[in-house]
Amino acid sequence: MNKQLTFRILFLFLLIALSAYIFIHYDLYLLFKDRHRLENFIRSYPYDQLIFIVVQIIQVVAAPIPGELTGFIGGILYGPFWGTVYSTIGLTLGSWIAFMLARFFGEPLIENMVKKEVFEKFDHFMEHKGLLVSFLLFLIPGFPKDYLCYIMGVSLIPTGTFIIISTAGRIFGTIMLSITGAFAINGQYTFLTVILVLGVIIFIIAYYYHDKLIEILKKRRH
């Protein structure tokens, strides 16, 4: 068992080092800092939809990369409907990969990918299979959902259940980002303003009350 754990830890550090080298050596990290650079990169390939899906997968697995940018670009490139579809495919696959990586490597990966305070805050809910709480955390705008995939990977939640929760929880935010991108590129600023105002209102309400809601749900589980 100790040899197996040692092998996994060494393999993990090798994987992280290789990923970091590729990102830095080929300047891939710059793509996620410039919207126009990322758009041009995706459009430069014949099967750009597949490239976009891969980009969405990467931004989930590499948790610090902001998902709002890629979701917005999906709306610009493919419109509100297909932008949502392609984003959802990429986000679902990326979430599953992050979940399985955490399940395979265990706590050594969590320590490298997730901030300690973030893990400690939500470990209680994951440990007790708080399915409703997990769904609500994915639903809350601005919440670190990519980190949550790793945290849930070391929980007892079945893989299929996780995929359903993460996909359903992300869908509202994905739709909002796709619509925002599509309206912005088409110059539909009136509709965009309405969507943004609604999104901001929902975000403020959800963000302001999410701690209270989580505490209420936590108490009900005892």
Does position 110 have pLDDT exceeding 80, yes or no? no
The answer, as to whether pTM is greater than 0.85, is no
Residues 126 and 165: beta-carbon distance below 8 Å: no
pLDDT tier at 213, thresholds 50, 70, 90: low
**What percentage of the chain exceeds 70 in pLDDT?**
63
> Which amino acid appears at position 2 of this protein?
N
pLDDT tier at 115, thresholds 50, 70, 90: low
Judged on CB neighbours under 10 Å (0-12, 13-18, 19+), 219 is exposed
What does the alpha-carbon distance between residue 59 and residue 56 come to, in Å, rounded to a whole number?
5
Does position 189 have pLDDT exceeding 70, yes or no? no
Three-state secondary structure of 172-188: HHHHHHHHHHHHHHCCC
Report pLDDT for 2.
59
pLDDT tier at 176, thresholds 50, 70, 90: confident
